[in-house]
Chains A and B, each alone.
Chain A
Amino acid sequence: MRRIGLSLSRSLLLAGGTGLFAAASVTVAEPFTQAVTGTTPAAIQLPAAAGTSAADTTGRSMARSQLETAQQSVVKLFGAGVGNLDSYGSGVLISPEGHVLTVWNHLINTGYLTAVTHTGRRYAVRVVGTSRDHDLAVLQLQAEPDQKFPHIDLSRSVEADAGASVMGFSNMFHVATGNEPVSVVHGTIAIRAPLQAGQGRWQLPVKTPVLIVDAVTNNSGAAGGLLTLTDGTPVGLIGREIRQQDSQTWVNYAVPLTTLAPIADGIRSGRPPEPAAASTAPPPQLSDRQLTARFGITLLPNVVERTPAWIDAVASNSPAAQAGLRRGDLIVLLDDDVIASVTDVQQQLAARRPGQRVSITISRQQQLLSVELRIP
């Protein structure tokens, strides 16, 4: 009986759609919960009046107002997760109109993204633009026109260096739901250096220096969180859980906001991001004719830069038909690889060998489903 309230709360959260939450605050215990003490000499002593510092002594203190501003600038992102993919993450509000900076991850394409702010209010999210080269996405919360969000000012971000004390704000381990504040951790920048690291097939595309932190800032759900100095100055966007290439050890990194700010500004103003400096030969990809002939899949005509991978037709008795694909399905993932466009499908399928089995995740009628296809 006792858990019904909670599961309802969580399912409401994940259901998507917009909702209005009254700004709710939890006040701390009043006299009733004063602990009942008996003959034990240990009695409750109230501490001296709390100061404005987040730490009681000098050195690592962060003013309460700055800490709260930073916490309120980080949103909790939720989407529909599949298999071993995270169904949540973090994002940083960067404008009063509700623009959010986060890592470019699979949540973007599913279309079921919901952001929850510090008030507990849920918002639908639209994707403004992305930059794969910087592992960056800019989103915007769908809100009333006159709504103003707490946010960080990217132009205030600074270059941080080894030895700087930092604070990380994120929804690590999805501890915070609803109106609960995101988690705060402390650490020191160990080094500022280029990082070669990845997880599975994914490699960190950022080639410019990143900040490596000596604390565990990067956990499930933390990607897209905010790294600041102890005075609240924003310095980095917390990255993913990846391993350094040679040592294969987990590394906690954040991409400097000074690197990301011009990219984010470009995306917001509609300018496409700079192409990657060193371009390699384009990867092999299947043509439309090959897709139809070998797999039985006809996707939408690839007319815009990133045409979503909608299936326009499935030939009967084809491998696609046998796998269970249908007209109207949107291809979202091939194994663990995110599919953002028709081109992605053409490239990803070209990289498979005949006989391999590939898991295709599709979006069909607001549901995510997985089918298995044998490469012909």
Chain B
Amino acid sequence: MNNMRVRVAFVLLAGLLPAAQELCAQDNAAPLRAREAARMEVLQRIAPTVVCVMAADGQGGGSGVLISADGYAVSNFHVTSACGHFMKCGLNDGRVYDAVIVGLDPTGDVALIKLLGRDDFPFATPGDSDQVQVGQEVMALGNPFLLAADFSPTVTYGIVSGIHRYQYPANTFLEYTDCIQIDASINPGNSGGPLFDIQGRWIGINGRASFEKRGRVNAGAAYAISVRQVLLFVDHLKCGLIVDHGITSFTTATADDGRTLVSQVSEVSEAWRRGLRPQDELISFADRSIGSANDFQNILGIFPEGTRLPLTWRNPMGVQSATIRLQPLHAFQDVPQLPGEKPSRPDEPQELQLDELAPAAKVPDALAGLFEERSGFANYYFNKLRTRELLEPLQASLRSGQPAAADAAAATSPPARPTWILQLTAAGNTADQPAAAAAELVVGEAGAGYSIGNRDWYQPAKQPVPENEPPSLYGLLTAALQWQRLLTHTDAAFDEVVAQGQVRHLPSGQVVRVLLTREGTRTARWYFADGSPLPVGVDVQFVEGADEARVMFADWQTTAPPGVPWPERIGVIQADSEQITWLRVSGLEVRQPDQKQAASASGPPAPAAPASTRPSPATTSSSGATP
């Protein structure tokens, strides 16, 4: 009996002991298991967003990441340039999707493509790459060495080794600015793929690595384009453009004492006109402080050309500030070719290209319409789409007031524009006009005029020059001439109309879409905010070496008379101060051109058939008189 009990006790005890040991081990491993479980859960969420990018014949390629449910995906330019206009993309559901090139940023090595066939693609959620810190854990997903036969991405783990890193162009135009340096294993095939933080937020695009003595395999230092830079370009890329980076019209150098000084300033530049001079000390650019010339380059490198950015600097008279528009860096007309890359120094970082691919296979017929070749564009088809998205609501809001005949203007050269007469009130806070006063703005085919009191100014439409603008309302007349063109004949009034992405408008701070129009030597950038078919502003570059006309429109009135929408307020942006001088518009009178007058096309036409309105608070319907 005793024996039995002891044996049973022994068996029971023996059964317990291993469990007890396991329990101890579990306690030590519990935090590690929790981390692992969290990591695996994150990977479940993000792995479906990673794209294996391949040329149409299935050869070679790299990686990419989906950024929206309709199929837009980001990769590297050096990946897609080897693939042609159409490519094949594998996702970790094992399926292959067709994709078409949308937009390119060759200098920044970014490409936007669109996967086709679904409107519910899983997509990555961006984090804030400016919040990334050294030492933080990251995960890189992609297709190094093309290992993923089933397109499930390879995952590598590491930490952030450095931030705001600058990578010199290595015998190509590719320049990586403000990048995130990581020690996660990055190899050829990872290019274009996403970098995630440990919570699964997309923070970068892997594209370069330092290769040296160990050959073209991971050596512990790789570089990712920051998601902030990618997002500053993505709307330009969606417009099918070859997007350029920007330069300033001044150069910088780090002085011995650590200050960043201006070396040279172009005397015909906006910066010069705002007072920037050599030896001035730069303080901040795009709201980021400048610690060195390298910092300046890093800040500059993340913006598309044409972006207007704030700049502050110190000169003997104190701290100055202004905004300047970035000029094009390369002005690519066509997609540039990447030379076979040979770095000049063995330890300079290199792209993670796989070996050259066979030429692109035949484009599937069903997709051919999604690509349109045109000089200056990565894929003109998408620019047409984006331009239509801006023009159609605009045209609809114009049609609501106009007689049907005006619509027929599109096909043939448009008829002469009517004359507009706007009654304005100038607020009177300028030096040469201290008190509020009534003013008149007249805009017609031949030119525009502004009169207040016994002074007036006239700007001819053919050759507007800065000297003709009223000093305290510089740009009003040139902008008005462009504005009349846009609202009378929309795209038919211009030589070229191009959708140009999105920017932050200065000084208002609004996020706006940009429509660029060209008429003669005048380039106008029209700004459209969400929710309004009519522009919130326009900047017109009309004479090289002179300030742009910068005007804003607010409180558009679209009641049927006078047949064209008009803004209740017009703001003129003062270049030196970035202050807005607002004019209140009390009414717009439209005078149709006389046929005879139209033929001679000189001077403002005599009033023939006025269809005018001067709305007073009590009036709700038209009070037009017919002759």
- Measured CB to CB, the residues of A under 8 A from B are 1-2, 4-6, 8-9, 12, 19-38, 40-47, 50, 54-60, 62, 64, 67, 71, 119-121, 167, 172-186, 215-217, 219-221, 241, 250
- What is the distance, in angstroms, from B420's C-beta to the closest C-beta of chain A? 32
Question: Knowing A4-B251, A184-B162 touch, does A59 contact B232 (C-beta < 8 A)?
Answer: no
Chain B, Cβ-Cβ closest to A37: B231
Binds A, one of B66-74, B547-555, B580-588: B66-74
- The answer to whether B503 and A36 have CB atoms under 8 Å apart is yes
A8: which of B134, B136, B254, B257 is its contact (CB, 8 Å)? B254
Residues of A within 8 A of B256 (CB): 12, 19-21
- What is the distance, in angstroms, from A70's C-beta to the closest C-beta of chain B? 10
- What is the distance, in angstroms, from B210's C-beta to the closest C-beta of chain A? 4
- The answer to whether A180 and B162 have CB atoms under 8 Å apart is yes
A-B contact pairs, 16 of them (CB 8 A): A6-B168, A6-B297, A23-B258, A24-B258, A25-B291, A28-B131, A38-B511, A45-B126, A47-B128, A58-B31, A172-B221, A175-B165, A175-B210, A176-B162, A178-B291, A219-B221
Question: Knowing A4-B251, A4-B263, A45-B201 touch, does A33 contact B228 (C-beta < 8 A)?
Answer: yes
Residues of B within 8 A of A219 (CB): 210, 212, 219-221, 347
Residue B89 interfacial (CB < 8 Å): no
Residues of A within 8 A of B397 (CB): none
Residue B159 interfacial (CB < 8 Å): yes
Q: Which of B17-74 contact A (CB under 8 A)?
A: 31-32, 34-35, 38, 67-69, 72
A101 and B147 CA atoms in complex are apart in Å by 43
- The answer to whether A215 and B183 have CB atoms under 8 Å apart is yes
A60 and B164 CA atoms in complex are apart in Å by 24
Residue B568 interfacial (CB < 8 Å): no
Residue B502 interfacial (CB < 8 Å): yes
- The answer to whether B297 and A5 have CB atoms under 8 Å apart is yes
- The answer to whether B199 and A5 have CB atoms under 8 Å apart is no
- What is the distance, in angstroms, from B241's C-beta to the closest C-beta of chain A? 15
- What is the distance, in angstroms, from A9's C-beta to the closest C-beta of chain B? 5
Total residues of chain B contacting the partner, CB 8 A:
89
Residues of B within 8 A of A181 (CB): 134, 162
Residue B482 interfacial (CB < 8 Å): no
- The answer to whether B295 and A26 have CB atoms under 8 Å apart is yes
A67 and B161 CA atoms in complex are apart in Å by 11
Residue B127 interfacial (CB < 8 Å): yes
Chain A, Cβ-Cβ closest to B32: A59
Residue B513 interfacial (CB < 8 Å): yes
A40: which of B161, B219, B234, B294 is its contact (CB, 8 Å)? B234
- What is the distance, in angstroms, from A188's C-beta to the closest C-beta of chain B? 13
Residue B286 interfacial (CB < 8 Å): yes
For the residues of A in contact with B, the DSSP-based class is loop
- The answer to whether B31 and A45 have CB atoms under 8 Å apart is no
Residues of B within 8 A of A26 (CB): 164, 288-291, 295
Residues of B within 8 A of A173 (CB): 210, 212, 221, 347, 349
Residues of B within 8 A of A179 (CB): 258, 291-292
Chain A, Cβ-Cβ closest to B164: A26
- The answer to whether A27 and B289 have CB atoms under 8 Å apart is yes
- The answer to whether A44 and B231 have CB atoms under 8 Å apart is yes
Residues of A within 8 A of B166 (CB): 6
- What is the distance, in angstroms, from A122's C-beta to the closest C-beta of chain B? 9
- What is the distance, in angstroms, from B505's C-beta to the closest C-beta of chain A? 10
Binary CB contact string for chain B from 267 to 278 against chain A (1 if under 8 A, 0 otherwise): 000000000000
- The answer to whether A180 and B131 have CB atoms under 8 Å apart is no
Q: Which of B294-320 contact A (CB under 8 A)?
A: 294-297, 300, 302, 309-310
A45 and B232 CA atoms in complex are apart in Å by 15
- What is the distance, in angstroms, from A52's C-beta to the closest C-beta of chain B? 11
Residues of B within 8 A of A121 (CB): 258
Question: Knowing A20-B258, A42-B68 touch, does A5 contact B125 (C-beta < 8 A)?
Answer: no
A6 and B263 CA atoms in complex are apart in Å by 12
Residues of B within 8 A of A22 (CB): 257-259
A2 and B294 CA atoms in complex are apart in Å by 11
17 other A-B residue contacts (CB within 8 Å) besides A5-B253, A54-B136: A12-B256, A19-B256, A29-B228, A32-B288, A32-B504, A36-B504, A47-B201, A64-B135, A173-B221, A175-B210, A181-B162, A184-B159, A215-B183, A216-B214, A219-B212, A219-B221, A220-B347
A42: which of B67, B136, B219, B291 is its contact (CB, 8 Å)? B67
5 A-B pairs with least C-beta separation: A54-B135, A216-B220, A21-B258, A35-B231, A32-B287
B68: which of A24, A30, A41, A57 is its contact (CB, 8 Å)? A41
A50 and B133 CA atoms in complex are apart in Å by 9
A21 and B257 CA atoms in complex are apart in Å by 4
- The answer to whether A2 and B329 have CB atoms under 8 Å apart is yes
- The answer to whether B69 and A41 have CB atoms under 8 Å apart is yes
A172: which of B220, B289, B513 is its contact (CB, 8 Å)? B220
- The answer to whether A178 and B292 have CB atoms under 8 Å apart is yes
Chain B, Cβ-Cβ closest to A88: B347
A162 and B164 CA atoms in complex are apart in Å by 34
Chain A, Cβ-Cβ closest to B288: A29
Residue B378 interfacial (CB < 8 Å): no
B251: which of A2, A27, A46, A59 is its contact (CB, 8 Å)? A2
A41 and B72 CA atoms in complex are apart in Å by 11
Residues of A within 8 A of B252 (CB): 5
- The answer to whether B296 and A5 have CB atoms under 8 Å apart is yes
A186 and B136 CA atoms in complex are apart in Å by 11
Residues of A within 8 A of B263 (CB): 4-5, 8
Binary CB contact string for chain B from 230 to 251 against chain A (1 if under 8 A, 0 otherwise): 0110110010000000010001
- What is the distance, in angstroms, from B345's C-beta to the closest C-beta of chain A? 10
Chain B, Cβ-Cβ closest to A43: B126
- The answer to whether A33 and B288 have CB atoms under 8 Å apart is yes
B136: which of A23, A41, A56 is its contact (CB, 8 Å)? A56
- The answer to whether B183 and A186 have CB atoms under 8 Å apart is yes
Residues of B within 8 A of A33 (CB): 130, 228, 232, 286-288, 302
Residues of B within 8 A of A44 (CB): 126-128, 231
Residue B293 interfacial (CB < 8 Å): yes
Residues of B within 8 A of A38 (CB): 235, 238, 502, 511, 513, 530
- What is the distance, in angstroms, from B498's C-beta to the closest C-beta of chain A? 17
- What is the distance, in angstroms, from B106's C-beta to the closest C-beta of chain A? 15
Residue B118 interfacial (CB < 8 Å): no
A37 and B504 CA atoms in complex are apart in Å by 10
Residues of B within 8 A of A2 (CB): 247, 251, 297, 300, 329
B67: which of A40, A46, A221 is its contact (CB, 8 Å)? A40
Question: Knowing A12-B256, A25-B291, A173-B221 touch, does A64 contact B133 (C-beta < 8 A)?
Answer: yes
A12: which of B125, B136, B254, B310 is its contact (CB, 8 Å)? B254
A169 and B502 CA atoms in complex are apart in Å by 40
- The answer to whether B199 and A47 have CB atoms under 8 Å apart is yes
Chain B, Cβ-Cβ closest to A35: B231
A59 and B420 CA atoms in complex are apart in Å by 72
Q: Which of B169-195 contact A (CB under 8 A)?
A: 181, 183
- The answer to whether A47 and B293 have CB atoms under 8 Å apart is no
A215 and B184 CA atoms in complex are apart in Å by 10
Which of B135, B231, B257, B292 has the most chain A CB within a 10 Å cutoff? B135
Residues of A within 8 A of B160 (CB): 184
A219 and B503 CA atoms in complex are apart in Å by 41
A28: which of B130, B218, B290 is its contact (CB, 8 Å)? B130
Residue B213 interfacial (CB < 8 Å): yes
Residue B137 interfacial (CB < 8 Å): yes
Residues of A within 8 A of B213 (CB): 220, 241, 250
Residues of B within 8 A of A36 (CB): 231-232, 235, 502-504, 511
Binary CB contact string for chain B from 486 to 511 against chain A (1 if under 8 A, 0 otherwise): 00000000000000001110000001
